[in-house]
Amino acid sequence: SQQGEEDPQALSIQEGENATMNCSYKTSINNLQWYRQNSGRGLVHLILIRSNEREKHSGRLRVTLDTSKKSSSLLITASRAADTASYFCATPSGSARQLTFGSGTQLTVLP
C-alpha cells in the first residue's frame, strides 16, 4: 500500500525555475528517500534524509523533513529539461526494508 500522498500530482515549469514537491507519510520512519523515474526506466536513488535531520542538500537538490507533520519536500533549483521525470518519496519498512512509495509527482520542465 502507498505510504502517503505526494503533491502536486503534476507540475509544469519553465527551465531555470525551481520545482518543489511535497510528500506526506503515515507511520514513524527512520529515514526518507527520494527517487526519480524517467519515462520507461527504473527508479534512481537521489537523496536520503534521516529522521534526526531537518534539511539536506545534494547539488541542485534540497530535501527537508518535518517529522512532527510527517512530511518532506524536495526542491530542485535551476531546473533543466533533463529533470523532466516522476519523483517519488519512499520509506523503508518491513523486515527486509522494502520501500513503501508515495504516489509520485510528474515534473515537466519546458525548454
Partner 1 sequence: GEEVAQTPKHLVRGEGQKAKLYCAPIKGHSYVFWYQQVLKNEFKFLISFQNENVFDETGMPKERFSAKCLPNSPCSLEIQATKLEDSAVYFCASSSTGQLGQPQHFGDGTRLSIL
Residues forming contacts to partner 1 in the complex (CB under 8 A) are 1-2, 30-31, 33, 35, 40-45, 48, 50, 86, 88, 92, 94-101, 103-104
Looking at the Cβ atoms of 44 and 78, the one nearer to partner 1 is 44
C-alpha cell at 49: 534524509
C-alpha cell at 41: 526506466
Looking at the Cβ atoms of 41 and 57, the one nearer to partner 1 is 41
In the complex, what is the shortest distance from the CB of residue 73 to partner 1, in angstroms, rounded to a whole number? 19
User: DSSP letters of 56-81?
Assistant: EEETTEEEEEETTTTEEEEEE-S--G
In the complex, what is the shortest distance from the CB of residue 61 to partner 1, in angstroms, rounded to a whole number? 14
56 contact partners, CB below 8 Å, separation of at least 6: 47, 48, 49, 62, 63
Looking at the Cβ atoms of 42 and 59, the one nearer to partner 1 is 42
In the complex, what is the shortest distance from the CB of residue 68 to partner 1, in angstroms, rounded to a whole number? 21
C-alpha cell at 109: 520542465
